[in-house]
Structure 1
Amino acid sequence: MEPFPHAKQAIAIARNALEAAVQGKTYRLPRDVPPELTSRRAGVFLTLVKNGKLRACWGTLEPQHRHIAEEIVASARGVLTRDTRFPPLRADEIDRVRIILTIVISPPQPTSPARIRPREHGVLVRSGNRSAVVLPHEGRTVRRMLTLARQKARIREGEAVDVYVFRVVTIEEPTPPKPLRSPAVPAPPPPAGHAERPLSEAPLARGW
């Protein structure tokens, strides 16, 4: 599959909007946003990962704004406080979270568990007025995705559910650098023959 065009710019919008929101400021999109991000509508989810664990996630399956760039900004605002599973994100955490953007590129379609591809599909599970979404990076197996969806929606095992899948693009921010040591405590020298591995600056995009 081809990489998502302008993945780096999409991540930059998410990061800048998140930093503005946590400071209580209004973020305005720059004038040079690529047309691919301002001419299409899509649902967007923004996930925050801290120390390899989920910190918060917020977004919508259906677009609520004029284009993808605005959806990213709205998800960045929402992820701070609207995921009630977690406490609100604090300003001192902002440099320690990694952003994962999930852009919905096809509407949910009914399916059977046997046809779910965990690395490619998002999953929607519904029972009556209860429903929940699980994104590809949240579960490595079909069983895990369905279990998570039931837990999120508070649907007991054994209850009948309708299962839907939707296709997504996943854009992952590079791992944030570790905080610098205090100047009063110099870092120990690396072992002989050890070379530092530079962090990649390019976001990883898959699924477009």
Structure 2
Amino acid sequence: MTPEKLFEEKQHLVFAAIKQQFNSHANAEQIAKKNYMDFDDLVQIGRIKLWELCLNYDPEKESTFNAYVMMTLKWKIRNEVHTKGMTIKIPRSVDYEERNTLCFHSIDLHTEDDTENDFFAVSPINVEEEALLSVEFEEVTSVLGEKEKSIILHVGEGYTTREIARKFEMGESTVKKKKNAAFLKINPNYKPLNLRSFFLGKRSFKGNRQQPLAI
């Protein structure tokens, strides 16, 4: 399939991503206006990114392409709104090169009320890489039940067996059994060594902690 044909077939994902990111197209239009943009600007941003993804389309990853596109478009549109829409003051101690690598996120992005936006600067990220890792995680854990997936996710984020047991209100031995059973489902050849290595790698972006940025 040509990039042009694929692009035409996936146009609906742009609107789906906008709706999912902002809860509705009406909300998206309101937020765009508050940030000195139009709804059409959001669509154009999405289409440009979609075209880039279509140019790099891998037929072998067809089953995960839609999910990959959705996540990438949501991040791209959100970041463009934050970058273009708000004036943010950065301390003079931050040099020019470091300033250009910062990525900004608002905790009030989804709110409809006229509340003051709080912004945070986080480490530079590769949006496409994060989206792909997230899709890969969902693929790998698709054989698990929701409780098993939650436990594995917590393992990957660095929680200890004791902490997981407290959070899910179960004994530590039960957590260990469920954890080992989950890993065996994922990999029948699994042996209980370095349990977190794979998921720490796949979910490492969860470890990024947002640092407040003065406004």
Q: Do both share a fold (TM > 0.5)? A: no
TM-score normalised per structure 2: 0.30
Q: Normalising by structure 1, report the TM-score.
A: 0.31
